[in-house]
Amino acid sequence: MSSLSRLTTPLNLWGASRRFQSALRELKPRRDAIRAMISEIETEKADIKPPFIDTHGRTHNYLRISLTEKCNLRCLYCMPEEGVALSPSANLLTSDEIVRLVELFASHGVDKIRLTGGEPTIRGDIVELVGRIRNIRGIKDIGLTSNGIVLAKKLRQLHSAGLTKVNISLDTLDQHKFMLMTRRNGFAKVIKCIELAETLFPMVKINTVVMRNVNDNEVNDFVELTKDRRLDVRFIEYMPFGGNHFSTKKFVDYKTLLTSISERYNGMIERLQDAPNDTTKAYKLTGSKGQFGFITSMSEHFCSTCNRLRITADGNLKVCLHGTAEVSMRELLRSGASPEEITEVIQKAVSRKKKQHADYRYGKSATYAKSTNDTYRRINRTHPVLSITSDLSSLLLPSTTSISSLRLCSKAADSPVYLSHVSKDGSAKQVDVSHKPISYREAVAEGKITLTPALVHLIKNNLSKKGDVLNVARIASVIGAKSTSTIIPLCHNIPISYVNTEFRLDESKGVLYIRSTAKTTSNTGVEMEALTACSVAALTVYDMCKAVTQQMVIGDIRLVSKSGGKTNYKGVSDF
């Protein structure tokens, strides 16, 4: 039988058919998967709407969203003289409203989201919000800009929820200067947060605002960090916004900084290729794991490639960080506007976007933009505010600014805040408390003093030649509390029923924590007595130890709790 006849026998034909059918069955899942992919692509194409393009041909695919106006730092360089008005909570965007806006922007080609503040980690639902944004079709990148104070507590959850990038603000590597610049002692928390972020993300960005005679001498120290760590340090030129008293005397352009770095690292600096729409001029040291760069908003703006839109915490759309024009997305959402109507408003706003922002360097703009709650830190009026340190305030504020006139409180736009100790004509007056009911009242204040190792040993072992440091400080705190009304002019002289001061020595940190409690049965509060007791205790420790060294720093004096009056308060305790 020929080979051809063997192939054409019924048995062989039946076998070939079986094999062919088997092959088809094996291919079916792949075929179905390909069909599903084609269907999904066609569906996505049908869902894709025209991108937001301005009249200068710039396509906007990057949306920055402020989650809150509040902040847990009090940075001097961004604090307006007249205070910062916080919007009523009802005016802030809800999570559902934020998600609706992201969905709308994503349908028009926005694929990159950055969450900012204020301090975004203050928002309680931030982890859930990141997860919801991650699930929106078209979103590829979710970033977060934070000061790092409480971020470490939520960072792992945020990473698991879908956070892809993190920027952490750090303006100094000196913990004492950090306290002066921010009026908070959170340096160690920020450093811990950066170290944790390095274990979760391929590269961690550090945002550093540079100011002359404040922190410009630390630029090379920041660059040094990039040698062995996956850090991207971005030096940001000091910029003006409404009320921060911008002064060219504090401005340092990036070329000056680059010259300083080049002198330190001669021949080791490489220029990197900047990504499209990047705001940073990027460099690295030869062989380093990290990199550094400059955000040159002032000296060489990058407006021509700007692809960013911003939404403030109260729901206003800003097409330019430095612009004053805003459009309320919140009102559109709450009035029942359709996605098409909202889209039309957004496109009109984008179409009015200018070619570039005003040139502040030469005074060509008479009106500075208000803070957008984006990059600049806000003031939380519910938290006690420390006074400005005189030596640093002279660097950060114009010489014409009166420290006594600088308001460190914020006020809501529709609910003015008045000082009860100031009359309508501006003169000082004591508050009349005669009509208030007498009640049991208690207040607790805390503070700390940073010590050298020698002083830690001296205090721990009670070796001071002046005597028992802590016992003397405790007695002094009682005397100080009872003398409050003679020190603070408008304080009432109230009967104090109890004062006690406790100490906790942390040898590993070299810090002595102080906690003072004051009690009274009166018609006014005892907060000032507690704060005075704590302050006097710290000063007494300083006086008892200054013969050994003056290298002590008193700080973080604050009210921790008060009760018994019209309003109660509960803060964070170190005890």
Residue 535 lies in a domain: yes
Residue 496 lies in a domain: yes
The one-letter amino acid at 454: A
Tell the residue number behind the tokens 């393009």, with chain if given: 53
- State which H helix or E strand residue 98 sits in: helix 95-106
* Each residue's pLDDT tens digit, 512-529: 999 999 998 887 889 999
Q: Are residues 251 and 344 in the same domain?
A: yes
Domain-terminating residue out of 338, 362, 386: 362
The whole-number pLDDT of residue 393 equals 42
Q: Does residue 543 have an active-site annotation?
A: yes
Q: Are residues 177 and 277 in the same domain?
A: yes
Question: How high does pLDDT run on average in the chain?
Answer: 82
The one-letter amino acid at 104: L
Given a cut of 80, whether residue 48 has pLDDT beyond it is no
Residue 48 lies in a domain: no
Domain span at 80? 58-362
The C-alpha atoms of residue 168 and residue 461 are separated, in whole angstroms, by 40
Q: Are residues 325 and 459 in the same domain?
A: no
State how many domains the chain has: 2
The whole-number pLDDT of residue 432 equals 73
Q: Which residues pair with 112 in a beta bridge?
A: 62, 141
| Confidence label for 430 from pLDDT (cuts 50, 70 and 90) | confident
The one-letter amino acid at 320: C
Angle of the 469-482 helix axis to the 453-460 helix axis, nearest 10: 90
* Each residue's pLDDT tens digit, 196-217: 999 999 999 999 999 888 899 9
Label residue 161 left, alpha or beta by phi (over 0 means left) and psi (-120 to 50 means alpha): alpha
The whole-number pLDDT of residue 433 equals 67
Residue 253 lies in a domain: yes
Comparing 6-10, 110-114, 407-411, 480-484, the range with the smallest average pLDDT is 407-411
Comparing 33-47, 198-212, 362-376, the range with the smallest average pLDDT is 362-376
The HSE-up count of residue 500 (CA atoms within 13 Å, CB side) is: 5
Domain-terminating residue out of 327, 362, 397: 362
- H-assigned helices in 216-282: 219-225, 254-264
Q: Are residues 446 and 344 in the same domain?
A: no
The C-alpha atoms of residue 120 and residue 65 are separated, in whole angstroms, by 9
Highest mean pLDDT among 233-247, 423-437, 466-480: 466-480
The C-alpha atoms of residue 229 and residue 264 are separated, in whole angstroms, by 19
The whole-number pLDDT of residue 201 equals 98
Q: Are residues 418 and 94 in contact, defined by beta-carbon separation less than 8 angstroms?
A: no
| Confidence label for 442 from pLDDT (cuts 50, 70 and 90) | very high
* Each residue's pLDDT tens digit, 96-105: 999 999 999 9
Question: Residue 479 corresponds to which tokens in the numbers above?
Answer: 């005397």
Given a cut of 70, whether residue 414 has pLDDT beyond it is no
**DSSP code of residue 210:** E
* Each residue's pLDDT tens digit, 125-176: 999 999 999 999 999 999 999 999 999 999 999 999 999 999 999 999 999 9
Alpha-carbon separation of residue 509 from 188, 350, 409, 452, 506 (angstroms): 10, 52, 32, 10, 6
Residue 140 lies in a domain: yes
Q: Are residues 291 and 184 in the same domain?
A: yes
Q: Is 402 helix (H, G, I), strand (E, B) or coil?
A: coil
Cα 216 to the center of its chain, rounded Å: 21
Residue 274 lies in a domain: yes
What is the pLDDT averaged over residues 423-452?
78
The whole-number pLDDT of residue 419 equals 57
Q: Based on C-alpha coordinates, what's the Rg of the chain?
A: 30
| Confidence label for 27 from pLDDT (cuts 50, 70 and 90) | confident
Question: What CATH number is attached to the domain comprising 563?
Answer: 3.30.70.640
The whole-number pLDDT of residue 222 equals 98
What is the pLDDT averaged over residues 503-515?
93
Residue 373 lies in a domain: no
Q: Is 236 helix (H, G, I), strand (E, B) or coil?
A: strand
* Each residue's pLDDT tens digit, 300-322: 777 888 999 999 999 999 998 77
* Bridge pairing between strands 511-522 and 496-506: antiparallel
State what percent of residues in the chain have pLDDT above 90: 52
Given a cut of 70, whether residue 500 has pLDDT beyond it is yes
* Bridge pairing between strands 231-237 and 569-570: unpaired
The C-alpha atoms of residue 272 and residue 275 are separated, in whole angstroms, by 9
Q: Are residues 240 and 251 in contact, defined by beta-carbon separation less than 8 angstroms?
A: no
Q: What is the pTM of this model?
A: 0.60
* Each residue's pLDDT tens digit, 520-556: 888 788 999 999 999 999 999 999 999 888 989 999 9
Please state whether the peptide bond connecting residue 467 to the residue before it is cis, i.e. omega within 30 degrees of 0. no
Please state whether the peptide bond connecting residue 315 to the residue before it is cis, i.e. omega within 30 degrees of 0. no
The contacts of residue 515 (CB under 8 Å, 6+ apart) are 444, 445, 446, 501, 502, 503, 504, 534, 560, 573, 574, 575
- H-assigned helices in 146-232: 151-161, 175-182, 187-200, 219-225
Q: Are residues 97 and 216 in the same domain?
A: yes
The C-alpha atoms of residue 518 and residue 65 are separated, in whole angstroms, by 44
Q: Which of 520, 517, 483 is nearest to 500 (CA)?
A: 517
The angle subtended at Cα 187 by Cα 181 and Cα 191, nearest 5°, is 135
Given a cut of 60, whether residue 409 has pLDDT beyond it is no
Q: Are residues 166 and 63 in the same domain?
A: yes
Q: Are residues 350 and 474 in the same domain?
A: no
Q: Are residues 447 and 348 in the same domain?
A: no
Burial of 418 (0-12, 13-18, 19+ CB in 10 A): exposed
The angle subtended at Cα 300 by Cα 221 and Cα 367, nearest 5°, is 105
| Confidence label for 426 from pLDDT (cuts 50, 70 and 90) | low
Question: What CATH number is attached to the domain comprising 76?
Answer: 3.20.20.70
| Confidence label for 429 from pLDDT (cuts 50, 70 and 90) | low
* Each residue's pLDDT tens digit, 238-291: 876 554 555 677 888 989 999 999 999 998 999 999 888 888 899 999 999 999
Select which of 54, 543, 556, 574 is catalytic. Answer: 543
Domain-terminating residue out of 312, 340, 362: 362
* Bridge pairing between strands 59-60 and 316-318: unpaired
The whole-number pLDDT of residue 106 equals 97
| Confidence label for 569 from pLDDT (cuts 50, 70 and 90) | confident
The beta strands (E) that lie in 300-390 are given as 308-311, 316-318, 327-328
Tell the residue number behind the tokens 């692509």, with chain if given: 41
Residue 537 lies in a domain: yes
The contacts of residue 47 (CB under 8 Å, 6+ apart) are 107, 137
Q: Are residues 322 and 444 in the same domain?
A: no
Reported for 484-491, long-range contacts at CB under 8 A and 24+ positions apart, including other chains, are: 484/528, 484/529, 484/532, 487/532, 488/528, 488/532, 489/428, 490/421, 490/428, 490/429, 490/430, 490/431, 491/528
Q: Are residues 447 and 350 in the same domain?
A: no
